[in-house]
Amino acid sequence: KAKCSGPAASVQPPSPSQQSLQMPLGPADLISPCHYTGGLSARELGAIDDLANCMVVDSLLGIVSHKMAERFRQPSASHIRRWRAAVEDFVVDQDYAVAYARLVARPPDSSESGRPFLTEARRNDPSLRLHLYRYLHLFDRRSGVRIELCRRYAHENRTGARIVSTRDWEANEKIDMLIGCIAEMTPDEERSYLRPGHNDFSVMYSTRKHCSQLWLGPAAYINHDCRPNVRFVPTGPHSAYYQVIRPIRKGDEILLFYGAHFFGKSNCECECETCERRLAGAFAQQQPGGSGDDSNGYRFRDTDKRLRRLAAAASKRQREEDEAAEPVAAAPSTDKAETSRQAQQQQQQPPLKLPRLLIRIRQLGDPLRYELVSLASATSALASESASEESESSPASAPASAASTATAAGPASAADASDGRSSSTPASSIDCSSPANRSPA
């Protein structure tokens, strides 16, 4: 852009953000971190952050995050599906240009009626483009971080987000692709723009400049903890970065200390993991006496080694509880005499046969009613039949067979009597154990 300075117009060199727009934007290896260099007011920064936040984070995680606009227009379901597909594809192909084109593309006429969600001027806005790139950094493989759901904080209805490490970080390292944007606010802007309890969730106060500052961007998703692992390092009037202050392992959450009185006096309403472990803050009421400290005023230091040891002990205790809850099988007998006696009994007993299942189908009106002969009757019939076979065609085999038949037909006859019908009702019996009716299994 040209700025008029007197009678002649002198062309100013392009800013770093304009230079990045002139680069061939495409795969991730061609994109450098899009640091914010200023130039936007608090309202302008809040407007593009609401859009980028909605298009990238809300669509992917399925949440509705806090917005700076008092009346933010929520997108339709078709918009959310398109944006989510674009972000999911970016996670795979890492192509910034394609992802940006899909995010700001005009949907089909059938899916967007009336006023469009993004105006043509907003689609061509370079500030929105760079801000979308900053949010896409959260899914860049080089960034070392990612964003995911968070269910910890009750004041957010257990629905929020958090920044998690995807690699190991050592102390004094700089998380370069986790970017935040700062916009200073005058007292008039603060009074006219901020609404307590609505959009004042990401406001800092600079003790050096004695003014309020709006802190937005992907870095605003870093949660508070009374034992942080990163610290806030300003690099200019509109930018800052996060420096690792103690080792961070893969899968650990990136945590920042907001202040000593951010969550009430002495952070009495803090819900961080450290306060939960110390029974302090919002968890102080769970300890007798209502204080997070011991009765003698001392407690152990929260060193990394001790916390890992506590986590390992808790995991071991949980495994032992799970094993104790499982049913324990009876231990085998160690008495050799008892074991030999049981083995002899098993050898003396004849092999057991599976009892035949007799199904009797009886016409008892409409529809057909199926009656199963009891297992006891089937077993009795099997025993009688075995006895008759052992007698080797002895005269007693006929009574035994008759008794077997009578026993098997007993329940059916009883059913006839109970239904008020004679035993001459037409019936057919199917023996499932016969070769003709037995399945290959």
Q: What is the DSSP letter of 294?
A: -
Degrees, nearest 5: CA angle 149-151-155? 120
Q: Nearest CA to 28 among 114, 136, 174?
A: 136
Q: What is the DSSP letter of 169?
A: B
Backbone angles phi and psi of 332, in degrees to 5: -65, 150
pLDDT for residue 168: 95
d(CA 437, CA 239): 82
The confidence band for 98, taking pLDDT boundaries of 50, 70 and 90, is very high
- The tens digit of pLDDT for each residue in 271-311 reads 999 999 888 988 887 655 544 444 455 556 667 666 767 77
d(CA 381, CA 47): 85
- The tens digit of pLDDT for each residue in 49-88 reads 999 999 999 999 999 988 999 889 889 899 999 999 999 9
pLDDT for residue 390: 62
Q: Nearest CA to 122 among 108, 104, 135, 134?
A: 104
CATH code for the structural domain at 42-108+119-284: 2.170.270.10
pLDDT at 376 over 80: no
Question: Strand, coil or helix: what is 431?
Answer: strand
Is residue 163 within 8 Å of 203, Cβ to Cβ? no
pLDDT at 392 over 60: no
Is residue 300 within 8 Å of 306, Cβ to Cβ? yes
Tokens of 409: 């037909």
The confidence band for 165, taking pLDDT boundaries of 50, 70 and 90, is very high
The confidence band for 28, taking pLDDT boundaries of 50, 70 and 90, is low
Question: Mean of the per-residue pLDDT values for the chain?
Answer: 74
d(CA 226, CA 280): 10
The confidence band for 146, taking pLDDT boundaries of 50, 70 and 90, is very high
Q: Pick the residue with more confidence: 148 or 9?
A: 148
Tokens of 341: 């006696």
* Extents of the domains making up the chain: 42-108+119-284
| DSSP assignment string, 232-276 | EEE-SSS-EEEEE-S-B-TTPBPEE---TTTTSGGGTT---HHHH
The confidence band for 3, taking pLDDT boundaries of 50, 70 and 90, is very low
Mean pLDDT over residues 211-232, rounded?
93
H or E stretch covering 404 = helix 397-419
